[in-house]
Chains A and B, each alone.
Chain A
Amino acid sequence: GENVEQHPSTLSVQEGDSAVIKCTYSDSASNYFPWYKQELGKRPQLIIDIRSNVGEKKDQRIAVTLNKTAKHFSLHITETQPEDSAVYFCAASNPSGGNKLVFGAGTILRVKS
C-alpha cells in the first residue's frame, strides 16, 4: 500500500522567512496530494491540494510543487506569519482507494516573531 514520508518533523523560522516541507510517496498510481493544517486541539483543515496532471499550484502565500517522476511533493509558505504556526500534514491518494488519504507524520512549524 501507499507510504508517505514527511520531513522535517519540526521547523522553526523567523517571521517573514519562507518555510518548505517535503513529502515522498511510494505508490506511483497516487494522483491526488492535499496538504492539511492542524492547530492545537482543532481539526485538520485543507489548505491546498494538487493533482498529478499539474506540476505546481499557488494560492497567495502558499504553493505546492509535484515531481511525479521522483514521487515527491513540497509545500512552500512565503512571508511566514505567527498565525502560520501549526502542524502541517501532507497526504496522498490513488483512484482505486476511493479518496482514502494516507498521511505523512506531520511537521510542527513554529514561526518566531
Chain B
Amino acid sequence: NAGVMQNPRHLVRRRGQEARLRCSPMKGHSHVYWYRQLPEEGLKFMVYLQKENIIDESGMPKERFSAEFPKEGPSILRIQQVVRGDSAAYFCASSRTGIDNSPLHFGNGTRLTVT
C-alpha cells in the first residue's frame, strides 16, 4: 500500500517562474493538506482540500499561491512568479476522513529552491 506520493522531490526554479508541486494521497484517502516548512522551522498549514473542493485555505498567501484537488489525478500546489522567500520544503499529508481525527500521513515533501 503506497504512502503519500509527492513529486518532484527537488525542484529548482528561477525567480519569476512557476512551480507546480504534485501530491497523490494514500489509497482510500480523499482529504489532502499542504504544509510549508522553512529551513529549521516548524510545519505551517497552508490549505486543506477534499476532492474538487477547497475546505480551508486560511494559511495560503493571498497572491501567487493556488491549490486544487481534481476529481481525477493528484492534488496540485501552484506557485506563480516564485521569489527567493518561497524556497522551502512543501509537505502534503492525507487522511481517510475529515472528521474523527483520523491520522495525517505525510509524503516525503518537495524541496523548492528559488535561485
- Residues of B38-94 whose CB lies within 8 A of A: 41-45, 48, 55-56, 58, 91, 93
Per-residue 0/1 for A96-111: is the Cβ within 8 Å of any B Cβ (1 yes, 0 no)?
A: 0111111111100000
A74 part of interface (Cβ distance < 8 Å): no
Total number of residue pairs linking A and B with CB closer than 8 Å: 63
B105 part of interface (Cβ distance < 8 Å): yes
- Determine whether the beta carbon of B99 is less than 8 Å from that of A98: yes
- Determine whether the beta carbon of B45 is less than 8 Å from that of A100: yes
- Determine whether the beta carbon of B56 is less than 8 Å from that of A42: no
Interface residue tally for chain B (C-beta within 8 Å): 27
Interface residue tally for chain A (C-beta within 8 Å): 25
- Determine whether the beta carbon of B55 is less than 8 Å from that of A102: no
Per-residue 0/1 for A2-42: is the Cβ within 8 Å of any B Cβ (1 yes, 0 no)?
A: 00000000000000000000000000000110101000001
Tell me, rounded to whole Å, the shortest Cβ–Cβ distance linking A7 to chain B.
13
A93 part of interface (Cβ distance < 8 Å): yes
Which residues of chain A are near B16, meaning CB under 8 Å? none
Which residues of chain B are near A97, meaning CB under 8 Å? 56
Given contacts A93-B101, A98-B99, contact A43 B42 (CB under 8 A): no
- Determine whether the beta carbon of A100 is less than 8 Å from that of B42: no
Chain A contacts to B: CB under 8 angstroms: 1, 31-32, 34, 36, 42-46, 49, 51, 89, 93, 95, 97-106
